[in-house]
Amino acid sequence: MARIIDGKVVAAELRNRVAGEVARVKSQHDLTPGLAVLLVGNDPASEVYVRSKHAQTQAAGMASFEHKLPTDVTQAELLALILKLNRDPAVHGILVQLPLPGPLNAEAVIHAIDPAKDVDGLHPSNAGRLAGGFAALTPCTPLGCILLTKSVHSSLEGMSAIVIGRSNLVGRPLVQLLLNQNVTVTIAHSRSRDLPQLIRRVDLVYAAVGRPELVRGDWIKPGATVIDVGINRTAAEGGKTRLVGDVAFHEALDIAGAITPVPGGVGQMTVACLLANTLRAACAIAGLPNPAV
């Protein structure tokens, strides 16, 4: 029976470390890290997520700046607000909640954010630095995947891994983070041949493809660590829906050495890593050493 990796516990530990470091930089350097979150429109799921970010930012002792914009906001208005936040010394992190509605160009919006305040790690400058092995602000979900893996394995050096999914938000940056940990990485996607055989060879499995229960239990190497990034809604009895990951959890539970549940796994880490990124950005902008998070 696999060990279930409790994302709530790991995320809480990270938030506590962040809060401790925030209190320290406030006391020693009179610096209060500030996070600005921009939400366009009224998507219910995004609104819930933004409320969670706001609450957790304040709980960590940081300043939280919420900007709720109407669905019909123009590209020029959105870019003007980002420019204003780029220049605001009280703001150290800027996050635009994606996806954006209507005709808004997400790529142009991401490019407009000051890379030093890009706590989502999506600006080409940060993506390029990460790909080159240099220090950079990193997308929060892949960073959370690494921290969850390290809750099982103190060192990943020399291990083998497969990342299923090649999105700019998860798959590609996760590959770079694993390489930085001296892991041998295979990246798979919708056109990969013989996916089960690829998965059976590796010590670490990261499923981030967005297909419900794609990875079956008998595809997994006995004792492997499985990090399930997928969050999919599927039909259940009585017309209700249930949340499942990209891995057939109950099948994998009997074979894997450790596995994240859905929900309660990777999703818990995203906001905690966002707080850590905001703290790192604030220290870097102020010319302070990296915080101990």
Task: Write the CB contacts of 23 (distance below 8 Å, at least 6 apart in sequence).
Answer: 61
Catalytic residue among 114, 120, 203, 228: 120
Helices (H) and strands (E) in the chain, counts: 10, 11
Query: Which residues sit opposite 162 in a β-bridge?
Result: 186, 205
Catalytic residue among 53, 176, 246, 268: 53
Is 43 a catalytic site residue? Answer: no
Residue 177 vs residues 45, 127, 230: alpha-carbon distances, Å: 28, 11, 19
Is 120 a catalytic site residue? Answer: yes
Is 176 a catalytic site residue? Answer: no
Q: Where are the alpha helices (DSSP H) in the chain?
A: 7-29, 44-59, 75-87, 106-112, 124-131, 140-150, 171-180, 195-200, 249-253, 267-285
Residue 230: is it exposed, middle or buried by C-beta count within 10 angstroms (0-12/13-18/19+)? buried
By annotation, the residues acting in catalysis are 53, 97, 120
